[in-house]
Structure 1
Amino acid sequence: MSRSDDVLKVHRLAHTGGSAALLEWLAARLGGWAGVVDAAQGRGPESVLRGVAEMNARGVRSAVLYGAGTVTLLFALEGGRALAAVLDQPPAPQAATLLADAAVPLALVLRAEEAARREARAGLAEARAREAVLHLLMNGRLSTAHQVAEALGPSLPEPMRMYVVECRTGRRGEVTRRCEQLTGGRAWIVRCPVYVRHLIVLVPADLASARADHDPLAGALVEVDPDCVVGVSGEARLREAPAAYTQAFHALAVARGRGERHARFGPGPELALAAQAAGAGWAGALLAPLHAYEPRRPQDPGGQELRATAHAWLNFASHATRLLKIHRNTLAARLRLVETLLGLDLARLGDQAALSLALRLTPGGGAGEDAPADAAARAGEDGPPGAARPGEAVPAPAARAAPDLDELLRDPRLTAWARAHLGPLSGSEAPAGARATLRTWLAHDARLVPAAAALGVSVPAARKRLTRIEALLERSLLRSPSARHDLWLAHRAEELAG
């Protein structure tokens, strides 16, 4: 092979395969070892490192080291590094020339690879910072969220509509670019830290269509990918971001069954609004032990961290580990502590519902964090630690309610909310047995397997029934965040009124 062929091969490998492919070819071509030695970082064979350090100290660009039966050829690269080849004696006649020819393209490709790594680190840092802004919003820390958002750009929109976009992971970048183009860069976009297929987009209210049946932005986003679906919240202030996320997630469940593949949250009564006046004192009393809790050790979670853990778990079950960046054993330990402090049994849907309502009715509470795992995650199959297993006796929905919750649910405002919330189940469009199906599912702590057994149907058949009820109620049931807590409370309020 001629020198010109070698040079062409070197440049082609540097362009297509990077430094690793180029070094591998050099080693094979010369019949020895070839690599990049970094004296400052101590990367490389010990004998070669000493030679590179000596070469750098003397300020020379190349050197030859002789050993027992071997010869090492060194050619300086930038940053105190060197291209080194350890060969048997005598080396091939073209070895020094080939290494000299390879040093320049190798230096260029190393610089390009380092730039790519820095860009990747910067992209990851920005993604984490955007995720942090979302966490701050969901925890009601608006001032800090604004400060971080201003540094990253754009500003957080106020008022806004929240869009949850579900698409294939490989298309999220394209969806992001399309959204930035359509909104003139004014939308705040963050990849969901829980559901890997989701993007969460805060769109200025003046850019989102006021018509529920016509949303050009959502329509344009679903055209990016055949698998793309979009759920849109109602108009909201930033302090209402948790509720807006939950609304958008419920709308996403509806959008999956529609031909246009996008939907807006259907108007309906909000539990937190209906219960605010009557339930604020009850919620404060229930959560008082949690808010007053002081850990024994500084490294242990305090009351606010336990509250955030409970809030994330109620919304995302075991997927809360992705949101909180903790191990599943840590999640289970924190939940046991919450149970002990509050006197609840979080394996029971009634106690989950009580805690969910209390968190929404007290300052710092919310109705959803950022978001979500693969679209196939089933909240009903992902029960909490200690949940009842198939075949075990499961009490009716009222069996494990928190103390004094029944008194709250007897309030006329809660009764009116419950009847409105459950009204579609008795309408002309309701599938046969919708109420019985939903009641049985709730009575079995929203677990599909025991609910299906109680209904006398297969698990896929029970899931299909609940999917039809999702479309009827325009609320997500089988994917978290699920409406199961509100439905449990509505059924209990209706029972008490009856």
Structure 2
Amino acid sequence: MHVQTGVSGGAVARRAEDVLAMQRVVRKDGTRSLLRWLALRTGARVQLTHANGSAVSGTEARLDREEAEFVHRGLRELFSRRLRSMVVDSESCTLLLLPLQGPREVCMPLLTAVVARPAPADLSLLLADAASVLSLCWQAEHTERKRQRLALAEAHNREAVLHLVMNGHLSAARQVAGVLHPPLPSVIRFYVVECPPSERGHLAVRCREVADGAWIVKCPVHTDHLLVIAPAGAPALEEAFTALADDCLVGASEELPLRETATGYAQAFHALAAARNQPCRHAEFANRPDLALTIGPAAAAWATGVLAPLHAYAARRSQDPDSETLVATAASWLAFSSQATSHLKIHRNTLSARLRLIGELLHLDLDRLADQSLLALAMRAASLPVPAHPQSHPAHGGTGGAHSLDGLLARPAVLAWARRQLHPIRTGPSPDGLDQTLTAYLRHDGRIGPTARALLLSTTATRKRLARIEGLLERSLLRSPSVRHDLWLAHRAVALAEGV
């Protein structure tokens, strides 16, 4: 390449203006904006190209087939002759190749320009200046991409640990957590922090600063939630979290053993519903006895019979879900409803197919809230110890016998539990209207549209009533995990006692 030694003052000024313009442009959108500027400035098709001839993603120029083959030939010639740069002419166009400069361990791309002949006289010098700017800019972008990939990988690993511990795989969860740090505590307090989705990443960083030893994960289901597993015994973190941002809410669970992390999440989620009505913007779970614990060992015996077909299921094909996968799917769907697809990382059609199979195995219609509530109780009760000599129990949740669902709900302790659940609604403001609304909502399988039509209300008015019920109960009703399964069981227990 021949460089003239006598350069006019106008050319020097024009070059300085171009360099300044490149520095301004590159601040807007990095390499992409600079490549667009070069294309407009020179009339060339400009892109960044890998050594194999493929364009760097996001920088592709509109090259026709002949020009693309011309670039491949030029690259082969450049590398075979071990040149630092190259200008190649064809009958109709000129190709300029300038490798970007960077560390040896980084595979830097090349600046490639194809322009119709004759090429502008100052094009080579302009591209050399651009290559210098692009080298620095591309390295910075490459470093940021690596940082983002590492952050994403760590986030996925932390989410995987959360899945393991919530599904009861404590040994594997502890091993992975021990590598990522901090280690998982034996006794925990679970927090759900709600904030605008756009602020979640920044708030997660700040939460780590005030929550020493806590395990913080972005919720895979709700994009406005952060999940925090903190060691029990440490100072409560509700006030510290709410002080970080004016628009965040915090729900906290009781102190629980690590194996009950799923319960801790549900408690914190329900406490979050109560926090919406608190001026301090945080709330702790209001302890109420769990129905499965209220029933006692008989619930475990009944649950064993209900879930036996699910646990005994053997997949016919290797690609079909096994019994463990079906159990995990049922638990996720009961907790998150249709958003279980985000939790399980599966397609909605896959979720529907698994739910159909679960319903067939258990002889349940999972579109009905009654059967959903039966399954939810069975899943909770399955973790209780089974009596050493359990009485006979049916293989599914029928309505007859001492160990049917109705038989369990007819117990005096369960009736007392049910009345405690419904007490805030039946003694609160406008008790008749709220109780009627809740009854209609449960009767119509937790669907707002049919509930509104039955009450001759708009969906907005119905939703407002349900939100008031949510506030009185201090439990989440409209968002999953929802208290609707417990409420259906409570209504059923009271109806059995009153002969309704």
Measured after TM superposition, the shift of residue 265 of structure 1 is 0.8
Residue type of the alignment partner of 1:22? L
Query: Structure 1 residues 319, 364: CA separation in 2 closer, same or farther (over 3 Å shift)?
Result: farther
* Preserved CA contact (<8 Å) 1:161 1:208: no
Contact kept, 8 Å, 2:374 with 2:405, in 1: the verdict is yes
Q: Structure 1: how far apart are the matches of 2:398 and 2:433?
A: 25
State the SS of the aligned residue for 2:127.
helix
1:272 aligns with 2:292: yes
Structure 1 residue 341, shift from structure 2 partner: 0.4
Q: For 1:61, which of 80, 84, 91 is the aligned residue?
A: 84
Calculate the TM-score normalised by the size of structure 2: 0.86
Shift of 1:191: 0.7
**How far apart are the structure 1 equivalents of 2:460 and 2:90?**
72
Shift of 1:59: 1.7
- Match for residue 15 of structure 2? 3
Check the 8 A contact 1:63/1:73 in 2, yes or no: yes
Alpha-carbon distance in 1 for matches of 2:426, 2:33: 68
How far the C-alpha of 1:310 sits from its partner, in A, is 1.5
- Who is 1:19 aligned against? 31
Q: Map of 1:93-108 to 2, 5 A cutoff?
A: 93-108=121-136
- Between the aligned residues of both structures, percent identity stands at 49
Pairing 1:218–2:238 present: yes
Give the secondary-structure state (helix, strand or coil) at the position aligned to 2:226: strand
Contact 2:300 2:383 in 1 (8 A): no
Q: Is the 8 A contact 1:36 1:81 kept in 2?
A: yes
Is structure 2 residue 118 aligned with structure 1 residue 90?
Answer: yes
Alignment of structure 1 residues 285-434 onto 2, 5 Å? 285-363=305-383, 404-427=404-427, 431-434=431-434
Q: 1:257 maps to what in 2?
A: 277
SS at match of 1:206: coil
2:302 maps to 1:282: yes
1-structure distance, mates of 2:95, 2:53:
20
Q: Which runs of 5+ in 2 are unaligned?
A: 1-12, 61-67, 102-106, 386-396
Higher RCO (CA 8 Å, separation ≥ 6 residues): 1
CA–CA separation in structure 1 for the residues paired with 2:273 and 2:433: 21
After superposition, residues 465-480 of structure 1 pair within 5 angstroms as 465-480=465-480
Deviation at 1:450, TM superposition (A): 2.4
Deviation at 1:65, TM superposition (A): 0.6
> After alignment, is 17-26 or 336-345 more displaced?
17-26
Q: What is the CA–CA distance in structure 2 between the aligned matches of 1:114 and 1:53, rounded to whole Å?
A: 25
| Deviation by residue 1:69-113 (Cα, 9 ceiling, x = unmatched) | 222122223536322222222222211111112222212212222
Q: CA deviation at 1:432?
A: 4.1
Separation in structure 2 between the aligned mates of residue 406 and residue 162 of structure 1, nearest angstrom: 33
Q: Show the counterpart of 2:70.
A: 47
Shift of 1:322: 1.2
Q: Tell me, in whole angstroms, the C-alpha distance in 1 between the residues paired with 2:44 and 2:165.
A: 58
Structure 1 counterpart of 2:138, which letter? L
The residue correspondences of 1:28-39 to structure 2 (distance < 5 A) are: 28-39=40-51
Q: CA RMSD in A?
A: 2.2
Q: Secondary structure at the residue paired with 2:114?
A: strand
Q: Is 1:188–1:203's contact at 8 Å kept on the other side of the alignment?
A: yes
The answer to whether the aligner puts 1:233 opposite 2:248 as a matched pair is no
Cα pair 2:47 2:112 within 8 Å, conserved: yes
Q: Deviations over 1:241-266 (max 9, x none)?
A: 11111111111111112222211111
- Partner-residue secondary structure (3-state), 1:350: helix
Gaps of 5+ in 1: 210-216, 366-399
User: CA contact under 8 A between 2:53 and 2:71: conserved in structure 1?
Assistant: no
Alignment: residue pair count? 456
Q: Tell me, yes or no, if structure 1 residue 246 matches structure 2 residue 266.
A: yes
TM-score of the two chains, using structure 1 as the length reference:
0.86
8 Å CA contact retained: 2:248, 2:281:
yes
Question: Could you say if the C-alpha distance between residues 430 and 165 of structure 1 is closer, same or farther in structure 2, counting changes exceeding 3 Å?
Answer: farther
Q: Give yes or no for contact 1:77–1:107 (8 Å, CA) kept in 2.
A: yes
Structure-1 separation of matches of 2:46 and 2:188: 57
Residues 329-363 of structure 1 deviation map (CA, whole Å, 9 limit, x = unaligned): 21111111111100011111111111001111224
Q: Is the 2:53–2:72 Cα contact (8 Å) retained in structure 1? A: no
